[in-house]
Structure 1
Amino acid sequence: MREVANYHQELSNRISLIVEKLIKGNSLYQVKLNKQEMIEMLVELFGQLSSEDMRAINEHDLTRRIDKVLVLEAVSGTLNDLTPEQIKMYDEAVKRK
């Protein structure tokens, strides 16, 4: 049981450092994301991997994977923030493509 708790803390620490760095360097993330919610969600997500598999992912790859998740989270609600006029403009722009 202690090993599971230690691993969870290790995972949380590792993810927290990466999320902090990514959010600090991205103004969209700063506006759109709640850092603590993202850390909790990512710990839950990556916690599904075995500790061996998780430890095998190097920092660069883990950062890249976390960044992709953060992009999705940040952009997913963007259309909800648009006014009806902006939605109309968006729809027209998409039709032209």
Structure 2
Amino acid sequence: MLKTRPTRDGTVKITFSLPADTPPTSVVGDFNGWDPYATPMRKRSNGTRSAVVEVPAGTRLQFRYLVDGGEWHNDPDAEHVDGHYVDAPDGLLTV
């Protein structure tokens, strides 16, 4: 699930959320240089996982979820575009 929230300083906070049964996962995309260690999703008290990033308003992001063990997943709430490193589409979000 994706949630966006504009801030007063012209940026947008994006919250990436996954269900409680999700194993350790990172959000990987052009906003963090496709670094699989840059944006790990933290486990919440209710078992779900989430990560928050802040980007300038008007940014177009490409991203995917990288599950521990090397599996790539898309967010069903995102648009999809051509793949980046793999033969599957990346998620697209314009904020």
Give TM-score, length-normalised by structure 1: 0.20
Question: Between Structure 1 and Structure 2, whose CA radius of gyration is higher?
Answer: 1
Structure with greater strand share of residues: 2
Give TM-score, length-normalised by structure 2: 0.21
Structure with greater helix share of residues: 1
